[in-house]
Structure formats: C-alpha cells, structure tokens
Amino acid sequence: MTESVTMNPGEIEALAVEILEAAGARTESARPLARAIAAAEREGIASHGLMYLPIYAEHLRCGKVDGQAVPKVTSPRQGTVLVDAGTGFAHAAIDAGFAELIPRARELGVAALAIRNSYNCGVLGYHMERLAAEGLVGLGFTNAPASIAPVGGSHPVIGTNPFSLAVPDGGGGAAILIDQSASVVARSEVMKHAREGRPIPEGWALDPDGQSTRDPDLAIRGSMAPSGGYKGVGIGLLTEVMAAALTGAYLGIDAAPFSGTKGGPPRTGQFFLAIDPAASAGDVFAERIAALAGAITEQPGARLPGQGRRAARKRHDRDGIQVSTALLDKIRSD
C-alpha cells in the first residue's frame, strides 16, 4: 500500500511556492501557479497538481519558462486586453489580464483577453470559474504543442487544445462548468501513466504508425486520439484559431513540447471572453440557467458538468488531501 500524508490546500500552496522560488521563479509568478496546483489537488485533478511541480521546476531551470518574466498588459481596443507573458508562467499573465478584463466586461457587456508568448495554463476551467465567481459567463481557449493528427492523416498538427465554459450561479460559483480537450483525454494523463509504468486504456492514443496503442511511451511519440473523431479535430482547430491565431501565439506545429527540456519556450497562447449576462438577457438569464440545470439534475444518475469537481472539493475540505510520500520525496529531491 502506498504511504501518504494528509495535507490541506494551504500547505500544498506553500510547498509549491517554496519549490518554484528555489528553481528561479519570482514570488509574483510562483504564487498564482501554486494556488492553481493546490486547487487541482483539491478537485482531484492529480495530473495538474503536485505531480506536475517537478516539471515546472525543471522548466524554470532549463529556460523553457522565464521565472522572472513580468507580464506586459496593453489595450489595443476598448474591449480588448492583450498580455505578452514574456515566456513566463501563464498564471501570472492571466492574473494581470483578468484585472483589466473583468471591469471592461462589466462596462461594455463583453470583453476579450488575448495572451501570447505563454506557457501551460494548467486546468483551464480553474480560470473560467474565477470569471463565473464575478457573475460573468467565461469562455476560454488554450492551445498546446501539436499532438493530434487530422482525420486521414498521421502527423500531429494541433494540440489537445482545451476549451472551457463557466456559467455563474448567482452565488459566487459556477452553475455549469464545461472543461474538455479536443482529445479523448488530456496528454498529461498519458504522461502520468508513463511515469507510473502503467498501460493506458484502449482508445486514448495512437502509436507513430497511426495504430491504436496501450503503451504510453509509444503514445507520447505518436498522437492523441481526437474525441469523437473528426468532431474532436474540429474542436482542436477552433481552439487553435482562438488561442494561437487570434493572440499571435505560436501554432501547435511550431510550439516546443510542454515536457522535457528541449526546444525552448513553447510560446503558446490563451484567449478568454468575459460576458456580462445582464447586458443581453437581464434577469431572465438566471431563470433560464436554473431551468436548464434543473432539467439535468432532476434525472436520477444525471449530473451537471463540474459537479464532480465540487464533490471532490467538499470531500477534501472534510478529510484532507492524500499526497504520496514518494511524490513528496521526488519533489524535494528534484
């Protein structure tokens, strides 16, 4: 049985800050990322939690990410905020952009945030929930290094490219939270299986010859399977346009991998839309969302997107978060 210790989000955040700063990140860059790592653990998304911390530290040391970068915020148009992350962590750039995006969305009804020269933003839904907490509908896109081949092809051209939608519940939370990638699963899940020496389920990925594989190492060298076949490729292309072309970031075919030490900064991008529902729907919006959510939750066994994460939060707030001692030892030793 794997030995573990019980930690709370504050302890996880403090550990992450310590490790990131030791690897070369300034506090203003380390803190937002550490909060997101703690949130991922709290929501049971281990692939984006402490497990990823050694990779972040490695990338700080090898120069894939600039720990001293200060995001540069500009506003080319009234409803548009542009942030150059300077090859630093995405989380600090998103924080800087949200400080401008949220008040502009309230004033104008809708506003956009484009981030370029960025890095892996972790759990995209984490950022979208922050907009929902402000009473705004949040729609976000982030592109990634190419790992999905087009239908009929064999060479990856787009990344797993997630999109996320967060709908406010009127009480500081999200009534609906959709967070999904263009692939069957996030690439980080395949990497997690590779690190643990476990085979991946059938249908997750293809080997370099385009054949289905359960070997995570072959999958990493091959391509991820798109969710829903050609429909998944369509979602990936949508995200590539929004997060790379519209922001001026690198396309997935030009971006260095999020794993390993080769290739330099990925320079990927994120694009966010923040919409004030009061501007277009008024009080009717809350009524419609309540009716939509109710039509799902009233069915036995059915659940809304995002409910699983909320349940994990409650469980971990009550019982604490179990973290393996082996992982903590690896974090400390690296």
Each residue's pLDDT tens digit, 151-178: 888 789 999 999 999 999 999 999 999 9
Whether domain 4-183+226-294+306-333 has CATH 3.40.50.720: no
Average pLDDT over residues 304-309: 93
Each residue's pLDDT tens digit, 24-34: 999 999 999 99
CB distance 159 to 145 below 8 Å: yes
Q: Where are the domains of the chain?
A: 4-183+226-294+306-333
Each residue's pLDDT tens digit, 247-291: 999 999 999 999 889 999 999 999 999 999 999 999 899 999 999
Q: Is 48 a catalytic residue?
A: yes
Residue 225 has pLDDT above 90, yes or no: no
Q: Is 189 a catalytic residue?
A: yes
Residue 1 has pLDDT above 70, yes or no: no
| For the chain, percent of residues with pLDDT exceeding 70 | 100
Each residue's pLDDT tens digit, 142-156: 999 999 988 888 789
Q: Is 41 a catalytic residue?
A: no
Cα–Cα distance for residue pair 129/175, rounded to 1 Å: 10
Question: How much is the pTM?
Answer: 0.93
Q: How confident is the model at residue 102 (pLDDT cuts 50, 70, 90)?
A: very high
Q: How confident is the model at residue 235 (pLDDT cuts 50, 70, 90)?
A: very high
Among 21, 41, 43, 47, the active-site one is: 47
Among 13, 21, 43, 48, the active-site one is: 48
Among 21, 129, 189, 240, the active-site one is: 189
Average pLDDT over residues 51-78: 97
Each residue's pLDDT tens digit, 187-207: 778 888 888 889 999 988 888
Residues 6+ apart with CB under 8 A from 165: 128, 137, 138, 139, 140, 176, 177, 178
* Per-residue model confidence (pLDDT) at position 160: 93
Give the helix ranges, DSSP H, for the chain.
Answer: 9-22, 27-42, 53-62, 90-108, 124-133, 187-196, 216-221, 230-240, 277-280, 284-297, 307-319, 325-333
